[in-house]
Amino acid sequence: MIGILLNMGRHTVSRAIDTIGHAQQDWSAIYRLFERDRVDLEYIQQVIRRHIQATNAPSEPVIAFIDDTLLKKRGQKVHGTSWKLDPLGPKFTNNFIWAQRYMQISLAQKQTEGHCRGIPILFQHCPVPRKPKKTAAPELWNEYRVLQKKMALPQKASEAILKLQKDLKGQKIIIVGDGGYTNKSVCRSMTENGIYLGRLRKNANLFAPPSEQNTGKGRKKYYGEALPSPEEMRQQNENWTEVVAHTGNGEHSFKIMSVPDVRSKITGNRNIKVLIIQPLRYRLSSKTKLLYREAAYLLCTDPELSPEHILQYYLWRWEIELNFKDEKSIFGIHQSQMRTQKSVDCFPGFVAAAYSLFLLTASCQQPQYPKWRTEKTIWRVSTNKLLADFRIDCLKNNKSGFPSYQTRNANPLLFHDLWENVIQAAMN
């Protein structure tokens, strides 16, 4: 883990080994940790989850974010790779990339007033089974269809959510997801202590609760009369409630409309609350014309949850996107060159665990800001700043920060003595 954090080059296993000074030792032993599945990731993830759970008040719910991401690859024989539609590609065309698919769950660790930081507790490989050829035997096609249902992303998400609710042992949890997870598999996997909050389609079918029930042998009524779609409700409504919520760059005012006690075929026989958010106005510059963002429609399986909390929790969901950015751009979670199934399933999750443990450790430290920064403009320290402070501490405690290559049967590092003297002189 130290090698992963201190590595400033390409984030491969060999570079991490070289960073901690084990390049002249048996490097294959570290590879075998992941190739033979000897790393207990589930135990590490439970430690992280218990720590976050202990920092929150028992009366407060645990906020969890769920989403998936793609890790770009080049090797054609890397396990779990296939052609995927790039969500970050241009809107005018379909851009496909050769990549792996991973699902992540992050828990919210509250920081300053109205802000939180996402801490990953799960980074799971969710490969898509390869489709057999048209001339393949019927047995292969039947096996493919079974695997396709088993490895579907909603199915894997519901399994992970059920396990998380079981591990929390009755504590209230709120799962926040985007539109891709607002489906039957995820919403109906919520237990009594679980709440799902996610994006809803603007043309979703909504119904009123049944006014009366069948008293005979017939099936019970789940749905009453059909209601207008969320978009139609937004266009028909003229009375909006203005609320203030915290975002990444401060406080913003939102106009919302709350529709309680409605039903959807996604959630079945339980009442839900729909929250409609008016588009925000903004300008790219003082010389450009006024633009509008698209309206947002949210679904919450708990009708008693206040609209202010629903809005704030959904705005916090952006933390998992920041997690993806840090994991890829800072820790290079997609740059490992492992190809086997066990290593592909294990090593990215190990990098995500190192990232989580680093954030938890850094949250207990008081960072030193540069003189040109003021506390009024700082609401959260960036991961790059935390990592820079960590590297400085390692350099101070180890003086040069380099192992003694001369004590091993290897060629001395070029200019090693000169470089060590320069660092020591600068520190003095």
Of 327, 297, 305, nearest in space to 102 by CA: 327
Identify the three-state secondary structure at position 4. Answer: helix
Residue 121: strand, helix, or coil: strand
pLDDT of res. 400: 42
Instruction: Please report the pLDDT score of residue 407 as a whole number.
Output: 42
- pLDDT on residue 404: 43
Express each pLDDT in 347-395 by its tens digit: 999 999 999 999 988 887 777 777 777 666 666 788 988 888 888 777 7
Give me the helices (H) in 8-40, please: 13-19, 28-35
Q: What is the predicted pLDDT for the residue at 192?
A: 87
CA 290 centroid distance within chain: 33
Which residue stretches of the chain have pLDDT < 50? 399-416, 418-419, 428
Please give the helix or strand (H or E) that residue 44 lies within, else none.
Answer: helix 41-55
Q: How far apart are CA 387 and CA 391, in angstroms?
A: 6
Residue entry with tokens 């991961």: 383
pLDDT score for 428: 46
**Quick check: helix, strand or coil at residue 51?**
helix
DSSP at 377? G
* pTM of the model as a whole: 0.86
How much is the pLDDT for 127? 92
DSSP for 164-232 reads: HHHHTTT--EEEEE-GGG-SHHHHTT--TTEEEEEE--TT--EEPPPSS---SSSPPP---SEE--HHH
Distance from first CA to last CA of the chain, Å, rounded? Answer: 29
